[in-house]
């Protein structure tokens, strides 16, 4: 069964450093998403991406965040200057169609980001 893969599974970084989280969505999917879960809190939406551009972003997704689909297969989330409060599990997800009515998301297994 096709999977969404994320790398690395765990990343530790110094505060103020840049990190790039990588995702390979399912190949025939068109819609891509990043969600995160801070320990003990709810899963939160960050950004959705379709047709090579951001279709929606949340308040969390400020100027420190960016997404890219550089080569038609990878989908990356960059945090320019990490803060302690960016520590969370970051999930990539993809879907074949616009998600709401038809299908659920296919999630990756997540990258645990720890900012020290």
Partner 1 sequence: ILNVEQSPQSLHVQEGDSTNFTCSFPSSNFYALHWYRWETAKSPEALFVMTLNGDEKKKGRISATLNTKEGYSYLYIKGSQPEDSATYLCAFKGDNYGQNFVFGPGTRLSVLP
Residues within the interface to partner 1 (CB under 8 A): 3-4, 33, 35, 41-45, 48, 55-56, 91, 99-110
Cβ proximity to partner 1: between 74 and 107 the closer is 107
Give the distance between the most distant pair of CA atoms in the chain. Answer: 41
Nearest CB to partner 1, comparing residues 55 and 114: 55
C-alpha closest to that of 90 among 15, 49, 56, 39: 39
| Min CB(84)–partner 1 separation in Å | 22
The answer to whether 28 touches 39, Cβ cutoff 8 Å, is: no
Residue 84 and residue 81: Cα distance in Å, rounded? 10
CB of 16 to partner 1, least distance (A): 29
| Nearer to partner 1 among residue 44 and residue 76 (C-beta) | 44
From the CB of 76, what's the least distance to partner 1, in Å? 18
Nearer to partner 1, 35 or 115 (CB): 35
Least Cβ distance, residue 33 to partner 1 (angstroms): 7
Sign of the alpha-carbon torsion through 46, 22, 96, 89: negative
Q: Who's near 64: CB < 8 A, 6+ residues apart?
A: 79, 80, 81, 83
């Amino acid at each position: 069964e096709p999977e969404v893969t994320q790398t690395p599974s765990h990343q530790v970084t110094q505060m103020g450093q840049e990190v790039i989280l990588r995702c390979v969505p399912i190949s025939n999917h068109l819609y891509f998403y990043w969600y995160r879960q801070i320990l003990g809190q709810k899963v939160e939406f960050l950004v959705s991406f379709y047709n090579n551009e951001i279709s929606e972003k949340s308040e969390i997704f400020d100027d420190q965040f960016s997404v890219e689909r550089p080569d038609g297969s990878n989908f990356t989330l960059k945090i320019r200057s990490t803060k302690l409060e960016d520590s969370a599990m970051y999930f990539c997800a993809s879907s074949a169609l616009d998600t709401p009515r038809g299908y659920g998301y296919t999630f990756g297994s997540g990258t645990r980001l720890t900012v020290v």
